[in-house]
Amino acid sequence: LPTWETQLLSSPDDGSCRRTKFAVTNALWTTRKTKPVFDPLKLPTVQRSGDLGTALLDRLERIYKEGMPGNNDVLLPMEPLWAGPLFQGKPMRVAYQGVRGSYCQEAAVRAFQRCDALPCEGGMDSAFEALESNDADRAVVPVENSLDGVIERNYDLMLRHPDLHVVGELLLPINHCLLAVRGAGKRSPAVKTVVSHPQALAHCQQRLLALGVQMEAVDNAARAARFVAENRLDDTAVIGSEIAGREYGLQVLEEEIQDDSSNTTRFLILSKPNN
């Protein structure tokens, strides 16, 4: 990697690097659906730190503009998206971060209907590596949530994989569902505990308090859904995606239990050049 990238990615204690990256990511990734994906008007707001900030801006701008020449529109989930055309005679292979039943899987199938959605469970970098190694034709990665902010690790990974281009973007409304094994009820004495990722629990706090259940945080909501289904835990429910319920045969007790209905995650669609 060039010196400035190495400095940015390997110096977490350097305050100037952190401030530069925070400013750059906010300038480049907080655009909304009425603006192009890359908005040059935001650049003057960035507090650059010498050549480091300038180089980072140039690199991220190139990643966007080389991948999306003349096409900077944001894809909205209520609009017709790509129908998943055959890719060299086969369904397009779309890598996503995490396990089956995650919101990343939902984003992949929203963007490419009838695609072959490939879970990448080996870490956040595994979806990037699947694309680099030609095990996938596209990758769908989250970069920002409207409530929780930016996902910095994926920004870092985009810089570590400079040959990958952004070819599309998807804004996915987050529908938090209360999932349980079939036959379970949401009221006592059936479901006593609700498990999920800490962010999902925080997003649904008002509804959970009203149900009077115990809340338990886990690292991965989709894995928790799989565990509850495999072990038939009828006293435990999971906050997860509707697609997790379908994947693991769980019943949807309630939909849209989040406190804020505007909860949305921004995903980028990545591709290799000329692919």
The pLDDT profile of the chain, 275 residues, written as one tens digit per residue, is: 333 223 333 334 444 444 444 444 444 444 433 444 434 333 333 333 444 445 555 655 555 555 444 444 444 444 434 545 555 678 889 999 999 999 999 999 999 888 899 999 888 899 999 999 999 999 999 999 998 888 989 988 998 998 899 988 899 999 999 999 987 755 545 789 999 999 999 999 999 999 999 999 999 999 999 999 999 998 999 999 999 999 999 999 999 999 999 999 999 999 998 76
State the pLDDT at residue 58.
60
3-class secondary structure per residue, 71-117: CCCCECCCCCCECCCEECCEECEEEEEECCCCHHHHHHHHHECCCEE
Exposed/middle/buried for residue 187 (C-beta within 10 Å: 0-12, 13-18, 19+): exposed
* pLDDT recorded at residue 74: 46
End-to-end CA distance of the chain: 24
Is the CB of residue 213 less than 8 Å from the CB of residue 184?
Answer: no
Q: Which residues contact 33 (CB under 8 A, 6 or more apart)?
A: 74, 76, 171
**Distances in Å between the alpha carbon of 270 and those of 54, 151, 162, 236?**
23, 16, 11, 37
* pLDDT at res. 189: 53
Cβ–Cβ < 8 Å for 186, 204: no
pTM of the model: 0.71
In which residue are the tokens 């938090």 written? Answer: 176
**Angle, nearest 10°, between helix axes 3-10 and 152-160?**
150
The values of phi and psi at residue 267, to 5°, are -115, 145
**Can you list the domains of the chain with their CATH numbers?**
3-67 (no CATH), 86-174+264-271 (3.40.190.10), 177-254 (3.40.190.10)
Pairing of strands 90-91, 86-87: antiparallel
What secondary structure, in 3-state letters, does 5-33 show?
Answer: HHHHHHCCCCHHHHHHHHHHHHHHHCCCC
Supply the pLDDT for residue 49: 40
